[in-house]
Structure 1
Amino acid sequence: MTHASPVSEARKLLVQVFRTGLQLIGLSSLLLAVQTQAFGFTIEAEKRFGLASAPNEIRIVSSTDIDVFQPVIEGYIQEHPSIAIHYIVSPSQGLYDAVAKDGEVFDLVISSAMDLQMKLANDGLTQPLRQEIIAARPSWARWRDRLVGVAQEPAVVLLADEALAGGLQVPRTRRDLINLMRDNPERFRGRIGTYDPAVAGAGYLFAAQDARMSDTFWRLAEVMGRLDARLYCCSGEMIADIQTKKLLIAYNVLGSYMPRDKVAREGFEVIELEDFTITLLRTALVPSNAPYPGLAQDFLAFLVSPSGQKLLTERAGLPPIDPGVYTERPHLRPIRLDPGLLAQLDKLTRARFLEEWHAAMEQP
């Protein structure tokens, strides 16, 4: 298992400081900088959309990359030129901490970590949404009047063409995937990627749901651990490493991050496992301290409207909320917005799960 810890990097840096004999005041400043980098709110990317002269601006924080949401934002601004949008990308766990613990100010929060979003809503850190927004969602895609799903996405497996060299068969279930990796250890050692549930909110959600649906997940984790799986914060990085052949297998990748250009998608296959494929809801809420909640709800109403959902599908590549897809593809298993998501966030429950996960992954 390969994983770079911010804390370990900080320790290395401090050792270098002592060796160079920096003065105490310099050491204190450096330590503060290291702590801020390791534990502070992380902005991965940000962009302002709209006219420079727009009299109103809302601040959206999201775990979704800019290029995915850009067509929707531009479509909204085209209809509302008096609005500008400052769009900020942050990892789902850091996004939650920024709202729940740090008091960061945003008008709208969009995240793939459904459980963390539900906790924000359940802890009284959100504002009620307008009835038109709630009514636009089926019952399983909303939580009271505080949280709604804006897209539904499967967590898929990416398999590089090289992984099947020599006539190996495409895995269709987790059992197949286990057998493929176990029977070809030298091919896959160090070239398997998956989320790190200890640091990625969506990663913990996926792992907990996997384990809830089948004990096969733990056997899969043990095999990946023995083969030195690489751990990631986000789907985009796994996709990039599949494209460069650094990885041959990426497990539980969000399908919405797939490149929409056909050439960029060459060289690997996208697989929805037939035993079950977890499907999450990308959800949105308005924080209780939002400076412009009315404008945020206007944007959210557009997002869940037929025109907004069409933009999400055709331009952004995000599947819309569609109950019919589960009948057409019965292997898809939706993660529903229900109290079970809150139970898995209990501190003791989470700690026990991560302890078991680390034990499975850290195989000799």
Structure 2
Amino acid sequence: MRRILCALAVILAPLAAAAFPVEEEHVFPGTGTGSELWILSTTDTEYFAPLLTAFQARHPSVTIRYTVTGSASVYTAVADEGVACDLAISSAMDLQMKLANDGLALPHASTAQLPDWAQWQDRIFGFAQEPVVLVTSRKALEGLALPRTRRDLIDLLRDHPGRFEGRIGTYDPLQSGAGYLFATQEARQSDSFWRLAEVMGANRPRLYASTKPMLDDLESGSLALAYNVLGSYAATRAAHDPDMALIEFEDFTLTLLRTALIPKGAQNPELAGMFIDFLLSPEGRRLSGQQGGLPPVNEAALVQTPRLRPIRLDPGLLVYLDRIKRRAFLEEWAAAVKQP
């Protein structure tokens, strides 16, 4: 019992010292006295487990600790708390870019062939791409046409306020790093962003910090639609719920990259680099798409589907992280969405 308690103390000590909220914590024990790989991630364990177990099959002595938290918390843990995780995985590409740009990510010489827009200076690596989508309840929209463009959605919400009041879900960019990224990138791409924000605001939307509770509420019937949802999570739910309709807007559909980097304070940077190489390998790509539900980076798919607009990994992502610009954007967003 004493040995068990000591082992638990070793596992939990870094988490106890950290201030970030832990949504999930899973330890995959190795077979021997090998090193430990600690991954701090925004991706739910069920999507990443096939990759973790396959990597561990190659390196059975390695213990893997997989900790899930929010995208803003991943950034804060690395940048402000100095958490000594070995890998930081996030859907908030702008916050990952800031970590790397601020010198908080170690370089890794990967041999994987990635498009220029899916990596940055051997410090950030995109390993999965997915659309940011609208998910609706077919029952809630009964008798109405499914919106195919943002203009369609604006018209739908404006013309039927009684049906959608209090039943729209979307990210709160104050709580979610990914939500802030989606909002700022959409504002850059489309003049209709602010009009849509105002129409949503008139319907008293419900604001969320992550995709999963949005989909839970959509499934329960308390929401009629969820806007700017991660495509991988939405596709998994829609495959088992015929009431859910997943919509990629025809005017344009933002496409994000899930990215990985090795924090400057990593305890096992070489092991972290090995895991990145595995993620980007043919086997890792296959497992990611077929078993993990996370489509690997595929430039050809983007060329074949022009409506998909990839968010590029470049310093342009830092524009809206400027404190003045961030404050101004959030104030304008709050005025539109949080109406009296």
TM range (shorter): over 0.9
Provide the rounded CA distance (Å) in 2 between the counterparts of 1:54 and 1:223: 58
Q: Is the 8 A contact 2:141 2:224 kept in 1?
A: no
1:108 corresponding residue in structure 2: 87
Provide the rounded CA distance (Å) in 1 between the counterparts of 2:285 and 2:296: 6
1:275 corresponding residue in structure 2: 251
2:73 corresponding residue in structure 1: 94
Structure 1 length as normaliser, TM-score?
A: 0.86
Q: Is the 8 A contact 1:63 1:90 kept in 2?
A: yes
Provide the rounded CA distance (Å) in 2 between the counterparts of 1:309 and 1:116: 24
Q: How does 1:280-359 map to 2 (within 5 A)?
A: 280-359=256-335
Q: Is the 8 A contact 1:258 1:265 kept in 2?
A: no
Aligned match for 1:77, one of 56, 59, 66 = 56
Provide the rounded CA distance (Å) in 1 between the counterparts of 2:261 and 2:230: 21
Q: Is the 8 A contact 1:54 1:81 kept in 2?
A: no
Q: Structure 1 residue 259: deviation in Å?
A: 5.8
Tell me, what secondary structure is at the counterpart of 1:348? helix
2:222 aligned partner, one-letter code: K
Q: Is the 8 A contact 1:109 1:284 kept in 2?
A: yes
Q: Structure 1 residue 353: deviation in Å?
A: 0.3
5+ residue gaps, structure 2: 1-15
Provide the rounded CA distance (Å) in 2 between the counterparts of 1:159 and 1:61: 31
Structure 2 length as normaliser, TM-score?
A: 0.92
Provide the rounded CA distance (Å) in 2 between the counterparts of 1:71 and 1:42: 24
Q: Structure 1 residue 338: deviation in Å?
A: 1.2
Q: Structure 1 residue 158: deviation in Å?
A: 0.3
Cα deviations by residue, 1:96-137 (Å, 9 ceiling, x for unpaired) = 0010011111000000000000000000011111232xx421
Provide the rounded CA distance (Å) in 1 between the counterparts of 2:92 and 2:239: 30
Identity percentage of aligned residues = 52
Provide the rounded CA distance (Å) in 2 between the counterparts of 1:350 and 1:297: 33
Q: Structure 1 residue 306: deviation in Å?
A: 0.8
2:336 corresponding residue in structure 1: 360
* Counterpart check, 1:59 vs 2:38: yes
* Counterpart check, 1:208 vs 2:184: yes
5+ residue gaps, structure 1: 1-36
Provide the rounded CA distance (Å) in 2 between the counterparts of 1:262 and 1:160: 10
Tell me, what secondary structure is at the counterpart of 1:58? strand
* Counterpart check, 1:147 vs 2:124: yes
1:231 corresponding residue in structure 2: 207
1:113 aligned partner, one-letter code: A
Aligned match for 2:170, one of 194, 215, 229 = 194
Tell me, what secondary structure is at the counterpart of 1:162? coil
Instruction: Give the structure with higher Rg (CA).
Output: 1
Tell me, what secondary structure is at the counterpart of 2:186? helix
2:139 corresponding residue in structure 1: 162
1:258 corresponding residue in structure 2: 234
Q: Is the 8 A contact 1:50 1:77 kept in 2?
A: no
2:149 corresponding residue in structure 1: 173
Q: Is the 8 A contact 1:259 1:265 kept in 2?
A: no
Cα deviations by residue, 1:208-259 (Å, 9 ceiling, x for unpaired) = 0010011211111111111110000111111111111111110000011136
Tell me how large the CA RMSD over aligned residues is: 1.6
Provide the rounded CA distance (Å) in 2 between the counterparts of 1:260 and 1:350: 33
Provide the rounded CA distance (Å) in 1 between the counterparts of 2:39 and 2:30: 17
Q: Is the 8 A contact 1:279 1:333 kept in 2?
A: yes
Tell me, what secondary structure is at the counterpart of 2:166? coil
Tell me, what secondary structure is at the counterpart of 1:237? helix
* Counterpart check, 1:129 vs 2:108: yes
2:159 corresponding residue in structure 1: 183
Tell me, what secondary structure is at the counterpart of 1:158? strand
